[in-house]
Amino acid sequence: MPDKKPISSVNDFVVRFANVNGSGSASANEMFARAILRHGVPVSPRNIFPSNIQGLPTWYEVRVTEDGHLGARGGVDMMVAMNPQTWDKDVAGIEPGGYLFYDSTKPMPSSKFRDDITVIGVPLTAITNSTYTDPRQRQLFKNIIYLGALSALLDMDPKLIEQLIGEQYKGKEKLLSSNVHALHLGRDWALQNLKCPIGLRVKKSDKVGDRIFIEGNSAAALGAVYGGATVCAWYPITPSSSVAEAFTAHCKKYRHDPETGKAKYAIVQGEDELASIGIVIGASWNGARAFTATSGPGISLMTEFIGLSYFAEIPAVIMNIQRAGPSTGMPTRTQQCDIIACAYASHGDTKHVLLFPEDPAEAFEFAAAAFDLAERLQTTIFLMLDLDIGMNHRLCRPLKWDDSRQYDRGKVMTAEMLEEGRDFGRYLDVDGDGIPYRTYPGTHPTKGSYFTRGTSRDRYARYSEEGTVYADNMQRLVRKFETAQDLVPRPLQANAERPTKYGVIYFGSTSPAMDEAIGLLEARGHQLDRLRIRAFPFHSSVASFLAEHDFVYVVEQNRDSQLRQLIVNENGIDPVRLVPIVHYDGTPITARFIAKAIGDHQDHLKVTPLRKAVS
């Protein structure tokens, strides 16, 4: 018996699987997460993987959370330790009173365990080897066998897992029945040899509702399909490659002409990120909706073209699935570290529109909106995801589409408009919103052509190095950026129950951890108003929020509090009032971290000033 009382919890615990990369564990682990969802209990899974294909350690963490806290929690209640390489660290990481599940085929010295945890040994290798002879089968079914054992230990309904296996291997009877068999091998062994269930239990609930379970990258790619993207050019880079791969898969399903079988899209894997953005710019210049997906190093390479897009006013959509930088950084770890790099990308005076979705549902919506914005504003739109949203399945509201929605193709002068004698100046601000009209190449035999260039030119696109002409154009670009403020998704504000002088600003994948942290902070007696920023340029409500609060915490996942820098810079406010709360070790930010950092700062602020105490 452990010398600490075993943790007892229903529908609220964290299970972490420690595996070897390439061992086929991913699908069994994902099935575990889905099976809990089928019990009506929300889960939040996370892949923690190395920049490697086979051999290095990988972890899969499932937070089971009836309350629907979808951020990472921190700590592990049950470790499924399948990787000898990381055993010591994995065992050390278990919460006191937690559980260790391991393959007990080979005896382990007692020094390899802990006294304050419950150790559960299942002879997985022995069971597998006595049932299967093929090495690959042994490897794969071992994963299903531990899934079966876990189902018994955690009191899960095996019917729900069988149902999932049935869906996964629909039409492949042999695979279906052998997987179900393996599941029961593990489950039966556990039921016969172990005390089931343990203190951690899954109980049927109804907290999942109609929510869906999807990765952010896939949702963003689907948003591109719905948003009318026809050209995609990309270069493989973790963690963004699955955007282009998902776009390819979605297009194969939904974008072929039923009669001719021909593709209503073009996808090119470029030779590098420079070519990818070049293809996007060329296609957009010629009137197609085009995008690329990349990550930090790709953004660095694309910056020259991004400046061209800004200055020559060519639409482009760049999905940046952020990972830890700088340089190659930690390619498989998450961060929100390209805020400044994207907001001011390229040489000279530039500013770009950034969108910050919080989850796959917003990734879908913002991806589709990005194409409207790019054509409306004739500039680059960044969709700022990160690895945490992009490469993990996240429970989110169902995706929605209004069938009456038409694409906003922006200000495009047609042959008819030119025929009518409309004055066409490619860089002429006819409406006062800083946005000029453009024409597509090949529109009219004698009217509306112009020469696109990255050099300075006048309102009619004629080359000019006149200072006044240049400044006039740069000022118009500022006006256009001001117009963008009211077109991009607005910040969402949620106020504390009682009026407070303290506020917190956050964005993107920090969202679920922040929502949970608010509860923890309230329990500590701290009231905070919240503002979730969803885009740059900042809407005027950001300035109002700052004015209404004495101190505003800015929570983000990078070292240099980049969003805070951007807020200070763009709003010209006293930086002292903006308190950075930063988390940047490459793991997703947690509610515990936020609550501690803000809570400690709040406690510190509440020291009674000396003068007041005296008087």
Question: How near is the Cβ of 64 to other proteins at its closest, in Å?
Answer: 17
Beta strands in 257-409 (DSSP E): 266-269, 290-294, 316-322, 353-355, 380-386, 393-396
Q: Round the CA-based radius of gyration of the chain to a whole number and report it.
A: 27
Distance CA 486, CA 554 (A): 22
Name the residue nearer to other proteins (CB basis): 448 or 586: 448
Name the residue nearer to other proteins (CB basis): 401 or 475: 401
Coil vs helix vs strand at 249: helix
266 binds other proteins (CB under 8 A): yes
318 binds other proteins (CB under 8 A): no
* Amino acid residing at 208: V
439 binds other proteins (CB under 8 A): yes
470 binds other proteins (CB under 8 A): no
Residue with tokens 């760049």: 318
274 binds other proteins (CB under 8 A): yes
Q: Where are the alpha helices (DSSP H) in 486-530?
A: 511-523
Span near other proteins by CB under 8 A; candidates 17-25, 191-199, 439-447, 573-581: 439-447
450 binds other proteins (CB under 8 A): yes
The bridge status of strand 316-322 relative to strand 353-355 is: unpaired
Residue 147 φ/ψ, nearest 5 degrees? -60, -40
254 binds other proteins (CB under 8 A): yes
33 binds other proteins (CB under 8 A): no
Name the residue nearer to other proteins (CB basis): 32 or 146: 32
74 binds other proteins (CB under 8 A): no
265 binds other proteins (CB under 8 A): yes
416 binds other proteins (CB under 8 A): no
- Specify whether the CB–CB gap between 508 and 357 falls below 8 A: yes
Q: Which of 48, 81, 182, 231 binds other proteins (CB under 8 A)?
A: 231
Distance CA 67, CA 583 (A): 24
31 binds other proteins (CB under 8 A): no
Distance CA 489, CA 485 (A): 9
104 binds other proteins (CB under 8 A): no
Coil vs helix vs strand at 555: strand
Q: Which of 255, 422, 479, 577 binds other proteins (CB under 8 A)?
A: 255
* Window 386 to 405, contacts with other proteins (CB under 8 A): 398-403, 405
Coil vs helix vs strand at 488: coil
Name the residue nearer to other proteins (CB basis): 400 or 498: 400
Residue 492 φ/ψ, nearest 5 degrees? -110, 130
Name the residue nearer to other proteins (CB basis): 93 or 270: 270
Residues in the interface with other proteins (CB under 8 A) total 73
Question: How near is the Cβ of 445 to other proteins at its closest, in Å?
Answer: 5
Name the residue nearer to other proteins (CB basis): 131 or 452: 452
Q: Which of 212, 340, 428, 496 binds other proteins (CB under 8 A)?
A: 212
Question: How near is the Cβ of 330 to other proteins at its closest, in Å?
Answer: 28
Distance CA 152, CA 190 (A): 6
278 binds other proteins (CB under 8 A): yes
Spell out a b/e string for 226-248, using b for 16 or more CB atoms within 10 Å of the CB, else e: bbbbbbbbbbebbbbbbbbbbbb
Helix (H) or strand (E) holding 14: strand 12-20
- On the 0-12 / 13-18 / 19+ scale of CB atoms within 10 A, 385 is buried
Coil vs helix vs strand at 134: coil
Angle subtended by helix axes 467-485 and 360-377, to nearest 10: 150
Site string for other proteins, 281-300 (x = CB under 8 A): xxxxxxxx-x----------
Question: How near is the Cβ of 4 to other proteins at its closest, in Å?
Answer: 38
Span near other proteins by CB under 8 A; candidates 63-71, 87-95, 132-140, 257-265: 257-265
505 binds other proteins (CB under 8 A): no
330 binds other proteins (CB under 8 A): no
* Amino acid residing at 377: L
Name the residue nearer to other proteins (CB basis): 190 or 308: 308
Name the residue nearer to other proteins (CB basis): 267 or 428: 267
Task: Return the bridge partners of 349, or none.
Answer: none
Question: How many other C-beta atoms are found inside a 10 Å radius of the C-beta of residue 426?
Answer: 22
Distance CA 307, CA 343 (A): 11
Span near other proteins by CB under 8 A; candidates 73-81, 227-235, 428-436, 493-501: 227-235
Name the residue nearer to other proteins (CB basis): 8 or 286: 286
Question: How near is the Cβ of 469 to other proteins at its closest, in Å?
Answer: 13
521 binds other proteins (CB under 8 A): no
Span near other proteins by CB under 8 A; candidates 1-9, 147-155, 226-234, 547-555: 226-234
Name the residue nearer to other proteins (CB basis): 308 or 337: 308
Name the DSSP class of 344: T
37 binds other proteins (CB under 8 A): yes
Copy the structure tokens of residue 215.
Answer: 């990765």
Which of 323, 325, 388 shows the shortest CA–CA distance to 357?
Answer: 388
Distance CA 600, CA 606 (A): 10
169 binds other proteins (CB under 8 A): no
